[in-house]
Amino acid sequence: MPQFFQNKRLMIVLAAIILLVALLGYSLRNNRNLSIPEQFIKDTVSLTEKVFNKPAQYIAGLFNNISDLKDTYKENQILKSKLDKYVELSVREKELEKENKELKDLIGYTKDLSDYESIQATVTIRDPDKWQQIITIDKGSTNGVEKEMAVVTAKGLIGKVKNVSKFSSTVQLLSASDRTNRISAKIQQKNTVFGLIEGYDVEKQTLLFKRIPSNAKVKKGQTVVTSGLGGVFPKTLVIGKVEEVEPDEHGLTQTAYIKPQADFNDINHVIVVKRTIDVQEGE
């Protein structure tokens, strides 16, 4: 009896497998019509896929976009940081190139001042309220700086030492509005023309070369230098070039507008010049 039930169970299992295979084969037929239950199941699965799949894809895409956005932001921050450093280095490089050129020019100019004692200095203070008046340099009496010494850049004369302390000095620029700020000067030509640099035209940004004799022939482009009359300033320090000339209100003398050879708005490194050779001429 038990053997019969075991065989019966085996036959039922085999029959079930045969039925399942038959149903699978039947369902895989392409040309058959789906039954109502199959259509219902297929439509339900398709609808469920549409309902859940698209939002899932959207949410997944949203998270991917957020992740990409974060990565892009980090990348932008890194690039911005590198760009800032590049700009900073570029600016610094240009500053160093400019400073290097100025120092080379100063060294070359110092050789031209072999007749004089020269002291190289750097501008440490320049008050915006007194931009055209004074500057402060990092050399003082301990370095041999004295009052009334001429101060030049590699391009030309800019002023004279006004006050001196042990480790620094104040330089009065040629453009300073001070009646006592006068420099004896001359125009280099066959018949030397003498006069005084006194005053500065702010609008034209030119020095005023006054007290030129009315009969003197002064032309645009002529070079103006220190005359050396007076015994303080060295002679032939370049001041600038003639821009224009006009007679004074009485017609007794002429005034020339001189374009400074040095750039008064860009002064970083200077040379303090002391006359050491005893000659008959003075400031």
DSSP string, 191-212: S-EEEEEEEEETTTTEEEEEEE
Supply the pLDDT for residue 165. Answer: 95
Q: Which helix H or strand E contains 8, and what residues bound it?
A: helix 2-28
Count of C-beta atoms within a 10 Å radius of residue 52: 10
Supply the pLDDT for residue 274. Answer: 79
Supply the pLDDT for residue 260. Answer: 95
Q: Which among 184, 188, 177 is positioned nearest to 242, based on CA atoms? A: 188
Q: What is the DSSP string of 71-116?
A: HHHHHHHHHHHHHHHHHHHHHHHHHHHHHHHHHHHHHHHHHHTTTE
Q: What is the DSSP letter of 34?
A: P
Alpha-carbon distance 171 to 187, whole Å? 25
Supply the pLDDT for residue 59. Answer: 65
In the CATH scheme, what is the homologous superfamily, with its name and number, of domain 116-275? Rod shape-determining protein MreC, domain 2 (2.40.10.350)
pLDDT digits (tens, 9 = 90+) for 61-81: 666 667 767 777 777 778 777
- Answer for the pair 239, 197: CB distance below 8 angstroms, yes or no: yes
Alpha-carbon distance 181 to 248, whole Å? 20
Q: Two tokens at 256?
A: 């020339």
Supply the pLDDT for residue 222. Answer: 93
Supply the pLDDT for residue 113. Answer: 56
- Prediction pTM value: 0.61
Alpha-carbon distance 271 to 161, whole Å? 11
Q: What is the DSSP letter of 279?
A: -
Q: What is the DSSP string of 128-169?
A: GGGTTTEEEES--GGGT--TT-EEE-SS-EEEEEEEE-SS-E
Report residue 24 CA to chain centroid gap. Answer: 80
Alpha-carbon distance 95 to 106, whole Å? 16
Residues with Cβ within 8 Å of 34's Cβ and at least 6 positions away in sequence, in order, are 42
Alpha-carbon distance 46 to 108, whole Å? 89
Supply the pLDDT for residue 282. Answer: 40
Supply the pLDDT for residue 205. Answer: 92
Residue ranges in the chain modelled with pLDDT below 70: 1-7, 19-65, 68, 86-115, 230-231, 275-283
Residues with Cβ within 8 Å of 82's Cβ and at least 6 positions away in sequence, in order, are none
Supply the pLDDT for residue 283. Answer: 44
Q: Tokens 């007749």 map to which residue? A: 115
- Answer for the pair 227, 283: CB distance below 8 angstroms, yes or no: yes
Supply the pLDDT for residue 4. Answer: 47
